[in-house]
Chains A and B, each alone.
Chain A
Amino acid sequence: MAYAYLFKYIIIGDTGVGKSCLLLQFTDKRFQPVHDLTIGVEFGARMITIDGKQIKLQIWDTAGQESFRSITRSYYRGAAGALLVYDITRRDTFNHLTTWLEDARQHSNSNMVIMLIGNKSDLESRREVKKEEGEAFAREHGLIFMETSAKTASNVEEAFINTAKEIYEKIQEGVFDINNEANGIKIGPQHPTTNSTLPGSQGGQQAGGGCC
């Protein structure tokens, strides 16, 4: 289970936008999304590979803890990446993005990578927020944007991995101080990973995860 880096993510957004489902979908694909069953989870971890390096993602959902200021504050601060999620079938969840973003920007470290996610893209018929609007919002605020569906697993993988790539690039550029764990990045136990063996086995795992 050795990894080169560990990235901590948080997922934020209004309740009911499907944060915990996204999280479960990404971390444990064996839970198949079925139409009469919604399952989510508040914490998950998964290994991915970027640039031949093993990277562990730890994702913390902050749902249900909004009433405590100290908690949200600390969560933001401890994360290297944030997924800001809204529901494309509910306009209000999109309207609240500004507030979420302000909070995030205020409490997080300035390098935190924020990805904007319009979830429930499978419900095209009930769509209230155009994809272009999401794109525009993301452009305006310097976010990465993607529409996903936790139900069909569309883009879920990409959302998490693209965020990780962005963080990884920032590390390469030296923007992140990786020795400071308060940034939500941790260097793995054995940093010089034996790249030859591990990626292979990881690839196998991922393939296994992806085939369902």
Chain B
Amino acid sequence: MFGRSRGWVGGQGKTKNIHSLDHLKHVYNVLTKNTTVTDHNRNLLVETIRSITEILIWGDQNDSSVFDFFLEKNMFAFFLNILRQKSGRYVCVQLLQTLNILFENISHETSLYYLLSNNHVNSIIVHKFDFSDEEIMAYYISFLKTLSLKLNNHTVHFFYNEHTNDFALYTEAIKFFNHPESMVRIAVRTITLNVYKVDNQHMLHYIRDKTAVPYFSNLVWFIGSHVIELDKCVQTDEEHKNRGKLSDLVAEHLDHLHYLNDILIINCEFLNDVLTDHLLNRLFLPLYVYSLVTPETSEDRKINPQVSLYLLSQVFLIIHYRPLVSALADVILNGDLSVFTPQTDLHKITASAGGVRRFTKPPESLERSLELSRHRGRKRTQKRPNYKNLGEDEDEDRAGGGAGSGGGGGVQEGWDDDGRGGEREGGREREKGKGTEGGGGGGSSKASKASGETAEEIEMVVMEKCKVPELTEQNITDEEKTAAATRTHAQRSRPFLDMVYSALDCSNDDYHALFVLCLLYAVSHSQGINRDLLERLQLPVPEQERSSYSLVLVERLIRVMSQAAQPDGRVRLATLELSCLLLKQSVLSGNQCIIKDVHLACLEGAREESLHLLRRFYKGEEIFLDMFEDEYRSMTSKPLNVEYLMMDASVLLPPTGTPLTGIDFVKRLPCGDVEKTRRAIRVFFMLRALSLQLQGEPETQLPLTRPEDLIKTDDVLDLNNSDLIACMVVSKDGGQAQRFLAVDVYQMSLVEPESKRLGWGVVKFAGLLQDMQVSGVEDDSRALNIVIHKPSSNPHAKPLPILQANFIFADHIRCIIAKQRLAKGRIQARRMKMQRIAALLDLPVQPGASEVLGFGQTANASPSGLPFRFYEQSRRAPNDPTANRSVFASVDKVPGFAVAHCVSQHSPSPLSSPSPPSSGSGSTGRCDSVTASTISAQSPTDDGTFLEHAPPSSSGVDGDGGGGGAALAPSAPSTPVLAPSLTPASQPTISLLTDNHTDALSVESLTLLPPADPPHMHPCASYVPATHCLQRPDASITEEDEKAERGDEEPQEEDSLTMDETETDATVKEENTTMELITPTEEGPEMAEGNEQEGDGDAAAGADEQGGDSLTAGESAEAEDAEQHPGETLDSPELD
């Protein structure tokens, strides 16, 4: 658009040297001849101004005489002169752009000083442009921004005039702080931040005294208005239609918070004091915090508690300024409603707030406030102003010369409307703090004076207001602390904290709970919050040594987990993950876990629930395996980021289940069977991981495929006696290589002979069989097309093939063999993993487990006869660095079971405690239809050891049986088996309470019940008889019962067994026929070993633990017995 005016000046005639002093002189002449802007010379003037810029910049870089001339002729005055005429938009824009370019490109400080001298720039800044024109507005604000970027301790004097108390750059800029155009607002913020950054005390005093209160109060009001709009948006939402707008408003709020934080971290102390005061008392407390407790109808201006929790979480996640967040946290965690009531209580500083904490609109626009304050400033320039006596006339009258806290009220009054001035004045925060002795109200001038005398000028007491006199004890023991925490909790009213805790209830939904968890997380991670405060309330402080934790919180967290594990649980995965995080934070102190046994028991109960939940979804389908592994990957690869979570506006709307909203899976409820399955898998993983970590046990079974166990490229393997098929591998891009194909348990690999050792091979490629697709090649009977996809944690990403090649074999027979081997290997690899999942879930293993790849398994006995396997370090080359890492030390394990078996040695945790059913005694009869009849024959002999390690997941009976109360009826006469959280209150918790007080659940958690026999729990003789025998301190007693029961159970089992069998994969069956004969011999040693280990170990403890995990209070030993064949009894419905 400037193009039209080209060539007016200098133009064609003088092209030689546009950049020269001479040319500037020429241009100057043009200026002098055109002092009046007309339609005719407009273009000429614009071009003149433009070329002056160009010459000046050239001069700055090349010839300083240019600047001398510019100054000498006072050419800026011409600019002003042009501006002041009604010169129109075109000229204005050009001028502003010229100035922008000028200030942006000047590199020499002296040049800059030249330009800034004479105050011309300030005259331009205060010039009333036509700001309704968006282009002028944009150029103008950019001009101010460019100037602000040039601010430093020296240049600030050109803008800030100490004598006249003028700082046009700043005051003009902040007038646009709420401009509708976002880019303008951003520029204003940049300017303010650039100003605050300059370390000039006089200037900063001016900012604080003359502008801070008006600006911050308006800013706070502006933010609050956005918050209310946001809340309205949430309230009026229907069917998630407001999501777009909501996410803008949330982003806006985040912008505000980041801006506030940017100001606060500049750390200009006295500015921060004013800002903190305003934020706390005019926004955060009255609007956010107060909304937590106000009943729905009470006040017109309030926001929903969930919105307020959400916003408070953001506050704590973003702002870390200690005085602010400490005070805010203190009110939330420790304060009561007196914070908001105007009362005069000499003892409670907190209470003397005099009704100030209001979210009210500033009575005047910022512009007007600034104007007023300017006039006042002029009037009283003599008086050293500070923001407290920043003055009103009446204020001065009343408070006299007292530059004390009375002035604080005055500030308020000055721009508050008259109607409520008195009330507000009384409540000025700093006044209140200081005026405690004076009666706190501060409403009278006397009080103001009195306190004013003692008050120091600048010191802010905002922070003190929330200090609670009680609870200052130091050096108290943890018991005392715990006691104190409960005591004070009972005595002292903490409505906010109460609200926060009670919002953790997820029985209907976890709408509020998620925000509460975020808030607690944010508070506990905030660097600005007093550790003492958190410790006093025993809130989780990450990475801190401690020996006690908040019982209330932990119990509620566990309840969330337990609710998450319910079939109809309305707990989202994000909520669960956060609960786990917070729980870990609460009870892990350094490397130690200080969780009480009761709580651990409750947690184990929840974990067990999740196990049962997952069993309901366990299917023998291929897709289950893929989902299982995929969920594990996405869980571990994408841990929850709370900050991101709290940036997402979608969680602000009530939790929904449909993926059509585009809401991330973890942030909504599952939709449909597949998602329900995924959710159950996740819940299981999370609770399992939590349980293991709290008990200090390593995870040995997950992921199902650990990268370190796999054969990798360049591994050297002993392939003697392995089946190898030579082939030519033709990759998709045309590369060819001669390789030997070898198929292992989980992987296929392509090897080439190792040159040094005969019979050994170097792996050139290894890929998972389970992710492989094999297909024939149409016109070549000797060739196979093989594609192996990379398992990806991102379900949306296109599957990436890691191998895509044709394998060409010597003849079609070998081709068929290879194809069969690969196809079978794939099935077997998958099946084996499914079996490991089943083992994880304490489910019976499907038949065919031991048939690996159709290799001659009979050769198992001698290691030399084994196919090479990844976990056999003895088969790895000695130079293989991965070999030593393997935890599977022994060679003679059955493939696929080695892992599980190994676990049974290391971790007595209930999940892994039985050597997987397949390798235990169950292998003889549990799964194979053919041998099913042997159960009865076998069980007597087995019983002794069998019982010790059989999966005792009795509560699974009802879970799996689909509300199988029937199955339980005989076994659990005293109490119906319910989820721990659902069990009625007539539970042994009472006896626990008497048993050991500190170990007990707090009273309010009566509904949260531990399973009857938590590990390490002291036997409670009082209720054991009533519930038959819960734990089995001595197996011998129960054994008889069990045997007796067994007889009853057996027929059922067989029935379901046969059903079970018929449902399973037909192909499996076929293969099994050969294997079944082998099975016993194969597994015999293994089984024995497993049993032995279990038996050798502390049998009672083992039983204890298993029982503790799975049994709820009312269950009897018979129930356990039933569980020993959980699969048979329970799973047939699932497999349908």
Chain A residues near B (Cβ < 8 Å): 1, 8, 20, 24, 28-31, 34, 36-47, 58, 60, 64-65, 68-71, 73-75, 77-78, 177, 180-182, 204-212
A36 to chain B, nearest CB (A): 7
Picked from B105, B142, B145, B258, the residue with its CB within 8 Å of the CB of A70 is B258
Q: A30-B50, A41-B101 are in contact. Are A70 and B259 (CB under 8 A)?
A: yes
B184 to chain A, nearest CB (A): 10
Picked from A37, A65, A77, A177, the residue with its CB within 8 Å of the CB of B19 is A37
Bound: A64/B183 CA distance, A: 16
* B1116 interface residue per 8 A CB criterion: no
* B254 interface residue per 8 A CB criterion: yes
B144 to chain A, nearest CB (A): 11
Q: A36-B62, A70-B189, A182-B182 are in contact. Are A211 and B255 (CB under 8 A)?
A: no
B1, B19, B54 — which one has the most chain A CB atoms within 10 A of its CB?
A: B1
Bound: A184/B275 CA distance, A: 30
CB closest chain-A residue, reference B185:
A74
Bound: A52/B189 CA distance, A: 37
Q: A73-B255, A177-B244, A210-B3 are in contact. Are A40 and B262 (CB under 8 A)?
A: no
Picked from B57, B146, B149, the residue with its CB within 8 Å of the CB of A39 is B57
Q: Which residues of A contact B193 (CB under 8 A)?
A: 68, 70-71
A2 to chain B, nearest CB (A): 12
Picked from A20, A60, A177, A209, the residue with its CB within 8 Å of the CB of B3 is A209
What count of chain B residues pass the 8 Å CB interface test? 44
Pairwise interchain contact A71-B189, C-beta atoms closer than 8 A: yes
Q: A42-B104, A74-B186 are in contact. Are A208 and B58 (CB under 8 A)?
A: no
Give chain B's interface secondary structure class.
helix
Bound: A29/B5 CA distance, A: 11
Pairwise interchain contact B189-A74, C-beta atoms closer than 8 A: yes
Bound: A71/B186 CA distance, A: 6
Pairwise interchain contact B145-A42, C-beta atoms closer than 8 A: yes
* B931 interface residue per 8 A CB criterion: no
Bound: A38/B318 CA distance, A: 40
Q: Which residues of A contact B446 (CB under 8 A)?
A: none
Q: A71-B189, A78-B182 are in contact. Are A37 and B58 (CB under 8 A)?
A: yes
Bound: A98/B1005 CA distance, A: 50
A151 to chain B, nearest CB (A): 15
Which residues between 75 and 100 of chain B lie within 8 Å of chain A, taking CB atoms?
97, 100
Q: A70-B255, A210-B3 are in contact. Are A41 and B100 (CB under 8 A)?
A: yes
Pairwise interchain contact B135-A45, C-beta atoms closer than 8 A: yes
Bound: A69/B6 CA distance, A: 41
A43, A77, A78, A207 — which one has the most chain B CB atoms within 10 A of its CB?
A: A43
* B479 interface residue per 8 A CB criterion: no
A121 to chain B, nearest CB (A): 22
* B139 interface residue per 8 A CB criterion: yes
Pairwise interchain contact A71-B262, C-beta atoms closer than 8 A: yes
* B61 interface residue per 8 A CB criterion: yes
Q: Which residues of A contact B19 (CB under 8 A)?
A: 34, 36-37
Q: A41-B101, A46-B1 are in contact. Are A1 and B54 (CB under 8 A)?
A: no
Q: A43-B139, A70-B255, A73-B254 are in contact. Are A208 and B4 (CB under 8 A)?
A: yes
CB closest chain-B residue, reference A46:
B1
Bound: A38/B4 CA distance, A: 23
Pairwise interchain contact B255-A74, C-beta atoms closer than 8 A: yes
Q: Which residues of A contact B296 (CB under 8 A)?
A: none
Bound: A1/B245 CA distance, A: 30
B58, B101, B139, B186 — which one has the most chain A CB atoms within 10 A of its CB?
A: B186
Pairwise interchain contact B190-A65, C-beta atoms closer than 8 A: yes
Q: A40-B104, A40-B105, A71-B189 are in contact. Are A181 and B259 (CB under 8 A)?
A: no
* B261 interface residue per 8 A CB criterion: yes
Interface string of B45-74 (1 = CB under 8 A from A): 001001000100110011000000000000
Q: Which residues of B contact A177 (CB under 8 A)?
A: 244
* B251 interface residue per 8 A CB criterion: yes
Q: A41-B100, A180-B244, A212-B6 are in contact. Are A78 and B183 (CB under 8 A)?
A: yes
Pairwise interchain contact A45-B100, C-beta atoms closer than 8 A: no
Bound: A74/B256 CA distance, A: 9
A169 to chain B, nearest CB (A): 20
Q: Which residues of A contact B252 (CB under 8 A)?
A: 182
Query: What are 10 A-B residue pairs whose CB atoms fall within 8 Å in the complex?
Result: A8-B183, A20-B104, A28-B2, A30-B5, A37-B54, A41-B104, A43-B139, A45-B139, A73-B254, A78-B183
> 3 shortest A-B CB distances, which residue pairs?
A208-B3, A70-B258, A209-B3
* B545 interface residue per 8 A CB criterion: no
* B393 interface residue per 8 A CB criterion: no
Q: Which residues of A contact B142 (CB under 8 A)?
A: 42-43, 60
* B162 interface residue per 8 A CB criterion: no
Bound: A36/B105 CA distance, A: 13
Q: Which residues of B contact A20 (CB under 8 A)?
A: 104
Known: A42-B145, A65-B149, A70-B262. 17 other contacts (CB 8 A): A30-B6, A37-B54, A39-B57, A41-B100, A42-B146, A43-B139, A60-B142, A68-B189, A69-B262, A73-B255, A74-B182, A74-B185, A78-B182, A182-B248, A205-B3, A206-B3, A208-B3
* B889 interface residue per 8 A CB criterion: no
Q: Which residues of A contact B138 (CB under 8 A)?
A: 43, 45, 58
Pairwise interchain contact A77-B1, C-beta atoms closer than 8 A: no
A47 to chain B, nearest CB (A): 6
A24, A31, A45, A68 — which one has the most chain B CB atoms within 10 A of its CB?
A: A68
Interface string of B112-154 (1 = CB under 8 A from A): 0000000000000000000000010011001001100100000
Bound: A69/B259 CA distance, A: 8
Bound: A180/B182 CA distance, A: 12
Picked from A47, A65, A182, A207, the residue with its CB within 8 Å of the CB of B251 is A182
Bound: A207/B1 CA distance, A: 10
Q: Which residues of A contact B5 (CB under 8 A)?
A: 30
Pairwise interchain contact B248-A60, C-beta atoms closer than 8 A: no
Bound: A96/B982 CA distance, A: 55
CB closest chain-B residue, reference A20:
B104
CB closest chain-A residue, reference B182:
A78
Q: Which residues of A contact B100 (CB under 8 A)?
A: 41-43
Q: A41-B104, A58-B138, A208-B4 are in contact. Are A77 and B54 (CB under 8 A)?
A: no
Interface string of B1052-1075 (1 = CB under 8 A from A): 000000000000000000000000
A32 to chain B, nearest CB (A): 8
Which residues between 239 and 256 of chain B lie within 8 Å of chain A, taking CB atoms?
244-245, 248, 251-252, 254-255
Bound: A206/B135 CA distance, A: 18
Pairwise interchain contact B248-A180, C-beta atoms closer than 8 A: yes
Bound: A182/B226 CA distance, A: 14
Q: A42-B104, A75-B186, A182-B182 are in contact. Are A1 and B3 (CB under 8 A)?
A: no
Bound: A45/B93 CA distance, A: 10
Pairwise interchain contact B182-A73, C-beta atoms closer than 8 A: no
Pairwise interchain contact B61-A37, C-beta atoms closer than 8 A: yes
Bound: A74/B183 CA distance, A: 8
B660 to chain A, nearest CB (A): 18
A128 to chain B, nearest CB (A): 25
B61 to chain A, nearest CB (A): 7
Bound: A34/B139 CA distance, A: 25
A16 to chain B, nearest CB (A): 13
CB closest chain-A residue, reference B58:
A37
Pairwise interchain contact B104-A68, C-beta atoms closer than 8 A: no
Pairwise interchain contact A58-B3, C-beta atoms closer than 8 A: no
CB closest chain-A residue, reference B90:
A1
Bound: A116/B183 CA distance, A: 22
Q: Which residues of B contact A68 (CB under 8 A)?
A: 189-190, 193, 262
CB closest chain-A residue, reference B647:
A106
Pairwise interchain contact B3-A78, C-beta atoms closer than 8 A: no
Pairwise interchain contact B57-A64, C-beta atoms closer than 8 A: no
Which residues between 953 and 999 of chain B lie within 8 Å of chain A, taking CB atoms?
none
CB closest chain-B residue, reference A183:
B248
Pairwise interchain contact B183-A60, C-beta atoms closer than 8 A: yes
Which residues between 724 and 759 of chain B lie within 8 Å of chain A, taking CB atoms?
none
Pairwise interchain contact A31-B139, C-beta atoms closer than 8 A: no
Bound: A208/B552 CA distance, A: 75
